[in-house]
Copies of this chain bind each other. A is one copy, B any other.
């Protein structure tokens, strides 16, 4: 089959790889019908050292079950399924608590012996625990929005939970990428009254407004902090969603947080320490969140999508076939695309 590999910074190739097959009785094989490129894929795209064997890429996908191992009980051939960006057994102590990202028997896509999602098919370890069967046909028009349950919308929701968004609350979102935009939607869904997005790209901030943002702050750094304080009665936002992970973005997030407030962070950490130790300490700002247990949220987030109330899939503004994936990376890196959908 064909699948995407990254061989180093800027070097993404689509190549022939072995077809996946059942290795464990708990496995399933899924033919991928939709996948996508993640903002987090851009970190290695910027910085990965050259590698001879390359890394398999992609961790968000929807597909159709083609085969199941002998121990798989909840899935059958033909099921349309969404895979969260971490696979998990669904039965360990952490999975039962809804923290599937810490599954004692789980792991990441695109690791040795595990396929990535940017390919024609994937072997799914721990298939019963990992996959969620969708009540739709494989070519349903809702596919883009359903695909966001894999990661980006679930991650925005996780940021909102970490930031302790409440009914009537004041929220600020740092990061106008697909996760930040989904964070706006999640905050709105949880009942926030005021939702401020920090961003300078009007195509993104316009979408943020449609997703529920009440204010747009195009300034950066100190000026952004001042502007958000102005918009929040001088005190800062009760809930801040940090959807970038850089030093500057984190310091901005703390700067615009109200003392006693919370930063829900889902931006992949790019610094050894969480920036702003003293600032967080003096302001008693809680820092929560992390890698989102997307699997835990599918059931809660699904109805709004199925019933057409929310369309997180609007973050996809470009669609490519599998051979177009390298160009998709470049479009996202150049900020010509918010998020790229892949139809293998």
Could you list which residues of chain A lie within 8 angstroms of chain B, going by C-beta atoms?
93-94, 97, 99, 101-102, 162, 235, 259-260, 265, 268-269, 271-278, 280-291, 293
Contact = CB atoms under 8 A, between A and B. Distances in A.
A276 B273 CA distance: 6
Contacts of A289: 281, 284
A110 B75 CA distance: 67
Contact of A277 (B259, B260, B274): B274
B275 A272 contact: yes
14 contacts: A101-B284, A102-B284, A162-B286, A271-B273, A272-B275, A273-B276, A274-B274, A274-B280, A274-B287, A280-B287, A281-B291, A282-B291, A284-B293, A288-B288
Contact of A290 (B235, B268, B280): B280
Contact of A278 (B269, B281, B293): B269
Contacts of A268: 281
Given A284-B291, A290-B280, A94 B260 contact: yes
Nearest to A102: B259
Contacts of A286: 162, 286-288
B273 A99 contact: no
Contact of A271 (B101, B235, B277): B277
A261 to B, nearest CB: 10
B102 A260 contact: yes
A102 B40 CA distance: 36
Nearest to A265: B281
A195 B273 CA distance: 27
Contact of A273 (B259, B273, B285, B293): B273
Given A259-B99, A260-B99, A284 B274 contact: no
A5 to B, nearest CB: 24
